Structure 1
């Protein structure tokens, strides 16, 4: 799936199978999902419900969204970090909301992050994000179709910046690995004769990490283990390439497969383990 080809109708309802078909990936169960399209463009999917552990205020064109982490103090890591960074470096963010009387997710359009602040709530620290719906083109929600409590926002002029990725570099590396995941060896398919994998920057591009878009900073991963790296649930020893995984016993203790012609830089693995890993 390429974001340029994505067609979603604001105000329309989508169930899990619809979302899998539209985005070429299923739901993880997280409120903030870190995703990539076929061109390695990062995007986020946000999910909010009337019922659940948080009291998101989905009212008006500008509204609040509570970050990830249901117990203890929330941390500015994983999905929370990517959402906070979007305040300065916007990226595509697709927002879905589910009413208490519904089973499907209603698409509310793309949103921008206006502000992020840490607040005390019920004796713990949580991150509150102020989001605003975009009002351009297909993202303008018809009031007759959209949720009644989501009034159209006033229009403001914004600018967007994003890191330009070297897509041919990532594609060439994926082909050398025959689109197989370096962690688990799985080889997914986009079509019957076409493999599918994702290129992961071990030290992420853009602020605050400013990693390089270089082969030495790239891994070829399946979508599941790509997400695990982003969420800090997997580490790789820089010297032995031994894998430690927070919950996947199948790969925990295994060894990252690195081809002889892939000069993976140990410094980026060290950075990931120190700055991103959650365990």
Structure 2
């Protein structure tokens, strides 16, 4: 799936199966999902429930979305971190809402992050994100839920890292689209293999990782998400994999080609700044 090929209609309702069909990936159950298209372009999917645990304030031209983490103080990791970074480095964010008692997710449109803050709520510290709808998508107030108002127009500037997709495409072909973590091969059609390329030190602010071969690992979608959520790390010297919960790969060794050397400094950066266990 390429982001440029997405055909979503504001107000349309999507079951989990239909979401998987449209995006070519299933739901993780998280409120903030970190995803990539077939060109390795990152995007986010946000989910909010009218009867959810966070009591998101979804009214007004701007609305408040509470970060993920239902117990203890929320940390600026995983989905919270990527959503926070979108304030200064915008990326596509698709917002879905399920009304109380609903059995499907209503697509509310693409949103932008105006600001975020860490506040105390019900005895713990949580992140509150102020979001507004992308000015390119307008919600028809007469035909959509009244608890979410249409957006106002704001002037924004976008910045996006330009990737050299030839580097990642070539590397995926060299590994025959096999995940370097688990060896799995996914398919985007019966005849086409599919894999994703993960930047060990992420691109863009505040990480500013380079788009080079030595900063890339070929992975399946599941382990790409595990890298982003900080559930997976790799020892820079031995290549030994540590996984927070997947015993099938925990303790195994990263598969690498002789002509693909991953920079140990990028691995150290990931382990120190992103790994969360």
Query: Does 2:42 align with 1:66?
Result: no
Partner Cα distance (1:149, 1:269) in 2: 45
Q: Does the 8 Å CA contact 1:10/1:108 hold for their aligned counterparts?
A: yes
Residue 236 of structure 2 is matched in structure 1 by 238
Root mean square deviation of aligned Cα: 0.8
Aligned length, in residue pairs: 277
Instruction: Determine helix, strand or coil for the equivalent of 1:144.
Output: helix
Deviation at 1:252, TM superposition (A): 0.7
Residue 30 of structure 1 is matched in structure 2 by 30
Query: Does 2:90 align with 1:90?
Result: yes
Question: How big is each residue's C-alpha offset from its partner over 1:32-52, in whole Å with a ceiling of 9 and x where there is no partner?
Answer: 000011111110000000122
Residue 174 of structure 2 is matched in structure 1 by 176
What 5-or-longer segments of structure 1 have no aligned partner?
A: none
The two structures have a TM-score, normalised by structure 2, of: 0.98
Deviation at 1:184, TM superposition (A): 0.4
Q: Does the 8 Å CA contact 1:114/1:132 hold for their aligned counterparts?
A: yes
What 5-or-longer segments of structure 2 have no aligned partner?
A: none
Q: Does the 8 Å CA contact 2:138/2:151 hold for their aligned counterparts?
A: no
Q: Does the 8 Å CA contact 2:172/2:197 hold for their aligned counterparts?
A: yes
Deviation at 1:256, TM superposition (A): 0.7
Partner Cα distance (2:97, 2:89) in 1: 24
Residue 127 of structure 2 is matched in structure 1 by 127
Q: Runs in 1 of length 4+ with deviation above 6 angstroms? A: none
Instruction: Determine helix, strand or coil for the equivalent of 2:84.
Output: helix
More divergent stretch after superposition (147-156 vs 112-121): 147-156
Question: How big is each residue's C-alpha offset from its partner over 1:210-247, in whole Å with a ceiling of 9 and x where there is no partner?
Answer: 00000000000000000000000001111111111011
Instruction: Determine helix, strand or coil for the equivalent of 2:20.
Output: helix
Alignment of 1:197-212 (within 5 A): 197-212=195-210
